[in-house]
Amino acid sequence: MKTTTEVCLVELFRRGTAGFLYVEDQLIDSVTTLRKFWRDVSQPGFKLLFSVKANPNSSVLLALQPHVDGFDVSSRHEAALLRRLGISPTSITWSGPAKTDRALAEIYQHGADCIHLDSFDEWQACQRFEGQRTIRKSIRVGISDSPSKKLGFSADEFSRLLKSPDFKLSGEKFSGIHAYLGRDAFSTTKLAAFLEEVKTFRKADVWADDFELYLGPGLPAVLTTDASLRSGLIEPLREICSSHRMSIECGRAVSQPSGYYFTRVLAVKKTDNHVRVIIDGGLQHMAGHLRSPSYGQTGIETYFFRSAQRLEVSEQCADIQGSLSIWYDKLLENVKVPASLERGDWIVIGHCGAYGYTAACNQFIGPTPIGEWMLSSRGEMSNVFPEQLMSYHAVLDGR
């Protein structure tokens, strides 16, 4: 952790509120690293989008805006928030199965770069608005080994669309194919399998000349901080990607390394040689626990403080558990903790800038109120929540 970040955190402890601190320089570093990585493997002209669901904090979005080519959203809340920040709808792509009629009406009202169609039903629903303006559409392909098989078109559903009289009459050409490979599920094998599936879909005569591949690659957060992981991927990726023009949308790989979550220790419990540190928050402040299905706790850092004093860790290991009485509220396992750790000390967890509070807002048994702060590149710290979160929820009714 950089000294400036530590100084800010200590200042925040004095306020007594749990929260998140985002570091703007780290956000920019992640985007720069990702761009360079993808430039090395794919065709020139690729686009890098930020997936808003990973962190819809307005300050994070504004910090990222000059450095990304656009944003991907999955709900009208996210799109309305971007519009309110002055971000052009034509730099927004729409993914996800939650495109309600109201969402579609707003897409056609304001415009969008591309709608990634999730189903035949969605294509039909779009037809009601086609008179208003034409918006590029892509076909989201269901990844066959994905746990979320509900998402995207299977080959059967795609052929049902193509055979339908309404589609034939429309003469529509699709601008590309979209897929999300899954949380941390990116691998060259998975990408190669998807590109094979793309070949089958492309046999149909329904593609526009400026065909593009839109991909949520599911890159892990550690990719931006682990140079050897990146360099090991470059050659195999270049081999399978370099003939495609791609637009990639990333969430955690962009924002996760930039965020620090901090809260107080409520109890240190020792039972049967097992130590559990109970913290004030946990899943109440996050969209999910912090262990990646593929990378475990790699990249996640923990620090402990008593007031302004950093505590040295000992050889003693503990699980870090949130304050909900549910088994899955275990944020981290087997973390080295200070021998003297006690109620009232602070824990800081680094690599928490994605799928945190602004993304999740879990109200179960009333979480301790939280704040979010941004440490800007100019070295200034500002409170970017609760005001910003209020606006995220209120944005649709113009509050």
Ligand X SMILES: Cc1ncc(COP(=O)(O)O)c(C=O)c1O
Using CB under 6 A as the criterion, which residues of the chain lie in contact with ligand X when the complex forms? 51, 53-54, 72, 95-96, 180, 183, 216, 218-219, 249-253, 354
Nearest approach, Cβ of 39 to ligand X (angstroms)?
A: 18
Nearer to ligand X, 54 or 87 (CB): 54
CB atoms within 10 A of CB 397: 7
Closest approach of ligand X to the CB of residue 143, in Å = 11
What is the C-alpha separation between 39 and 196, in angstroms, rounded?
A: 22
Whichever of 212 and 249 has its CB closer to ligand X, that residue is 249
Q: Residue 128's CB: how many other CB atoms inside 10 A?
A: 12
Q: How far is the CB of 200 from ligand X (least distance, A)?
A: 21
Quote the least distance from Cβ 111 to ligand X, whole Å. Answer: 20
Q: Which is nearer to ligand X, 250 or 300 (CB)?
A: 250
Provide, rounded to whole angstroms, the least separation between the CB of residue 359 and ligand X. 10
Residue closer to ligand X, measured from CB, 59 or 224 = 224
Tell me the closest approach of the beta carbon of residue 237 to ligand X, in angstroms: 16
- For residue 354, the minimal CB distance to ligand X (Å) is 6
Nearest residue (beta carbon) to ligand X: 251
**CB of 178 vs ligand X, minimal distance in Å:** 8
Nearer to ligand X, 219 or 286 (CB): 219
User: Among residues 55 and 302, whose Cβ is nearest to ligand X?
Assistant: 55
Q: Would you say 96 or 350 has its CB closer to ligand X?
A: 96
Quick one: 89 or 96, whose CB is closer to ligand X?
A: 96
